[in-house]
Amino acid sequence: MKIGFIGLGNMGAPMAKNLGEAGHDVTGFDTAGVTVEGVSPAATMEAAVEGQEVIVTMLPNGAIVRTVHEAIVAAADPETLVIDCSTIDVESARAVHDLAGEKGLMSLDAPVSGGTGGAAAGTLTFMVGGSDAAFAKGRPLFDIMGAKAVHCGPAGAGQAAKICNNMILGISMIGVCEAFHLADRLGLDRQAMFDVASTSSGSCWSLNTYCPAPGVGPESPADRDYRPGFAAELMLKDLDLSQTAAEKNGAATELGRHARDIYERFVGAGGRGKDFSAILERLGAG
């Protein structure tokens, strides 16, 4: 396929590279002038869009997604498939679906889980919203960039799944960190704590796969001085999205709100640029 890729940051660059290595003709654009091996650089966003069969975007927030997609629909050919892999609010996702539909374009909201490591390895999970026909057209690309793609429902369903999933992740990571903190205060060896909890009712992804305690369990950012696989400020962004959605839809998410507040304090107190699992360090510091 001829693919335009807009947004070549820490996630977008390896995703675009994987598409190029799979044999697709990929043209990329980023406002920072980033270049990616195997991806032809475009001087303008319009140049990355014109004549393409598929446009993929990976952008920071809903406002930018709306602006960029206005430019895309103005430059794209009819029936082009537009896939937005950004994590944004559900309302913005539905708005860009409507915008694409008015111009005769197909569209999917397809946020991802798996972080920069998953983007590089091509093992991301895609949570996808949009029509059956659009999902069928995008599926071969998801199979290159990721290990799994779940069609969650109509427009906006992918974003809904992403913010619900990451609310679980944020809450569970805090719970795991608090458990290790309490274990430390009780004099319980961290390895013993892991061996028990990871094979009993405390088992969860935040513990078993992404343990926040250095030297315990599979290698994780904790073993690399908390250099981020998923930065704390990005977790805060996703928790903000979940709480905005909860407030607008009358959902009771007390733990989600509390987790958001904890990450807000952590990011404001020096956690920016650290992995979201570094919450354990803050607890240890009192």
Catalytic residues: 162
Whole-angstrom distance, CA of residue 119 vs CA of residue 145:
7
Cβ neighbourhood burial of 154 (10 Å; 0-12, 13-18, 19+): middle
- Among residues 77, 100, 116, 93, which one has the least CA distance to residue 228? 116
Q: Characterize the bridge pairing of strands 124-130 and 106-109.
A: antiparallel
Whole-angstrom distance, CA of residue 119 vs CA of residue 124:
6
Total residues found in the chain within this entry: 286
Degrees, nearest 5: CA angle 148-149-152: 140
- Among residues 226, 225, 227, 207, which one has the least CA distance to residue 217? 207
Number of neighbouring beta carbons within 10 Å of residue 51: 13
- Two structure tokens written together for 43: 């001087």
For 139-186, the DSSP string reads HHHHHHHEEEEEEEESTTHHHHHHHHHHHHHHHHHHHHHHHHHHHHHT
| Contact yes or no for 203/222 (Cβ under 8 A) | no
